[in-house]
Structure 1
């Protein structure tokens, strides 16, 4: 009993303090339960200020959304990927046409050619073409070709009806003057044909003429009505098993990606026993096989 008495035995002032503390606790608990401190009064709100503040927030959101959109920087349209084309607003068909064109080892050198290959709409072309960036030498060539094309278009209608004697009808021996006897072939195109012929070491197929850059099919058809391959060229072939990467890349029908695939395949098989093994390479361009092997052999 002494133990309990020592804990509960207080003087009057202490008992009064404890009683007052308990009373305060009961009062505050009651206030919370009965929601005494709540008020039904509504606070006056300035609606015009709220609308102005909300408009400011909305404008900041729009600016942030615009900032998050991917920005378009100058680019070469020849290297548009699926992802890049989708960002630009191109359809899958338009992107596929571009990729198929690039697989032929050809390049787009103007916005007009880009539209011709991809068939994009005029509105989309107008939107993205300002960002096209071609190499400086292509820009200069386009400028010179525009001036020469104007001259050629004039000469196209000014050809003389006088009989012109050709030195040869063999397209591999034809001179620039021989080629210029064809309506539509001026000095620029004749030199371009001869330059491409030198790159190929001579035309082995008549339809290789269609590969000359900028030469329209209708004009090429006219050339082939007069000039043919009387004697196929003797092409110096290189051994696929010993050729270097740089040498193989000089093949007019092999681009960088195909060159890598060929070297990877060569490392895998150690040595090609027959040049036809190139067809075993995944995604090898079978349509260009006959042209590629003009310059290769397996020894």
Structure 2
């Protein structure tokens, strides 16, 4: 009897190529130095506030810190990724690393439950880590209920708060956390990372295409990797992917269209201007992205 091979399920590229150690973080050199020192000296504070634009690695970094503190080999900036603790954290099955999405769990009762859980000793790891994503969406009452625990947590507990809008959080909460600020990743750094991923996936892609993807993602690595996958789905034959494919996928103006539109404005050519606007409407381009391009 023939046995069919089990086909491995598809894994989204932004998860497949998610950084697994501090050294893997792209475009965050300053943060790498700070975290390397804190982890190497085993002096990670009880509460960290990870803030910055979306897709720059905040939640990934929080998980890396959790693995670094709980790898069975040792506290290290390069967790093995193979031990029981590392694998449980990677798959989200660790009893000692709890992730809370504050977008949907933002009330006082949610925080009270978290505070109660934080009182327990670790089950199988060294440190219990609580990762709160979109922390700015916690209600003021929930943040106030969190203050005492943030100020005087147990020695075996760390709180990692990730947010894109730290200014929306109470000053009393922010003052109790060590701030780690993520910056937008430069287009050059994004393009280099995308080139590496494309090679690993066997996707032939034009350099201008990589630059267009990097520009469109506005400094977010996650968005750029997702866009690279989307663009790669349009590949036809062995020819490298061209830059126009990116503009077709993102519904943005390409450089030729931008030049034509601006020239029409500069020359006061209302006929060409109206014609260009008609093409934009017919192509169903995203009008906000049209304004961004201009």
Could you say whether these structures have the same fold, taking a TM-score greater than 0.5 normalized by the shorter chain as the test? no
Compute the TM-score of the two structures, normalised by the length of structure 1: 0.22
- Higher gyration radius (CA): 1
Q: Which has more helix, going by share of residues?
A: 1
Higher relative contact order (CA closer than 8 Å, sequence separation 6+) = 2
Q: Which has more strand, going by share of residues?
A: 2
Compute the TM-score of the two structures, normalised by the length of structure 2: 0.23
